[in-house]
Chains A and B, each alone.
Chain A
């Protein structure tokens, strides 16, 4: 049994050390933990997003959704923001500058 282990180690060459696995798992779990620590977190983010985007376009604030999606080895911030129309200024940026 021990001999088998040794042989297995020699031939498969564990390329990723277990501490790196621990680190990566921690990083991911903490992204999630930290965002769920305060339920206000996503709401605050959502409000700030609305503030910025409203400068450029008309959006449907009611049906806007912002959430975190947990993929196998990454976490993504997914925002679904229905656009009702663009403001004229958005096209005039160069003229203004």
Chain B
């Protein structure tokens, strides 16, 4: 088995890289794939708490690289899904504790046993970023519809291409349909046009993300969450399925749907 390695990156912090990694990984595992999530944010690990696996950490990525334990010993098995594993970052070291070369070897080792290796990249463009992308063969760039986030995404796309990671795909996160409709938030066309890269998917702003993160449960498990549904669709797209991108105006609330029906009738 030779799995694909995807890095989830953004440049800017706080746009949802970790949430995206946790949810895409979980969604892919729900589809029966074998998945390992790698937290490469050494010193500021968070993927473990988002996944709700923080109490089970014994060894971490730095232990593996330094040979303090075997790779298999550091992998934490998810309690909900068969085939979903986490390799946690170290919390006490810093980003120089791992080199890009070591990271590449590690990812290549993981590829042998998993369908997908998802690497959660730290914010910034320094060593942590270089580590995270070094083993990947594909990048997902997460951006929110804000000037600062799109600007950083543009810089990251340039750096990815300079590193030979061609064809990164864009995931627009936290889109607010209502604001887009009012012209107070950039729409997908604006962002794709400016960054001129392929769109992988769009995740709407959704309060259920906060609730599920509080609980340590990825939102894709919730059948009623809009963000969860969006992540599940993106996961299917990653496996090569053709899944149309939902129209942004698509609103799930009753009044809007009713309005739409009225419009159609006219």
Q: Which residues of A contact B (CB under 8 A)?
A: 17-20, 22-23, 25-27, 29-30, 33-34, 37
Contacts and interface: CB of A to CB of B under 8 A. Distances in A.
Nearest to B146: A22
B238 interface: no
Interface of B is mostly: helix
Nearest to B182: A17
29 contacts: A17-B182, A17-B183, A17-B184, A18-B183, A18-B184, A19-B180, A19-B183, A19-B184, A19-B185, A19-B190, A20-B183, A22-B146, A22-B147, A22-B186, A23-B190, A23-B194, A25-B147, A26-B147, A26-B150, A26-B194, A29-B147, A30-B151, A30-B154, A30-B194, A33-B151, A33-B155, A34-B154, A37-B155, A37-B158
A18 B187 CA distance: 12
Nearest to B194: A26
B151 A26 contact: yes
A22 B144 CA distance: 13
Interface of B: 146-147, 150-151, 154-155, 158, 180, 182-187, 190, 194
B192 to A, nearest CB: 12
Nearest to B158: A37
A22 B182 CA distance: 14
Q: Which 4 A-B pairs have the closest CB atoms?
A: A17-B183, A19-B186, A18-B184, A37-B158
A20 B184 CA distance: 8
A33 B158 CA distance: 10
Given A18-B184, A19-B187, A34 B151 contact: no
A83 to B, nearest CB: 35
Nearest to A37: B158
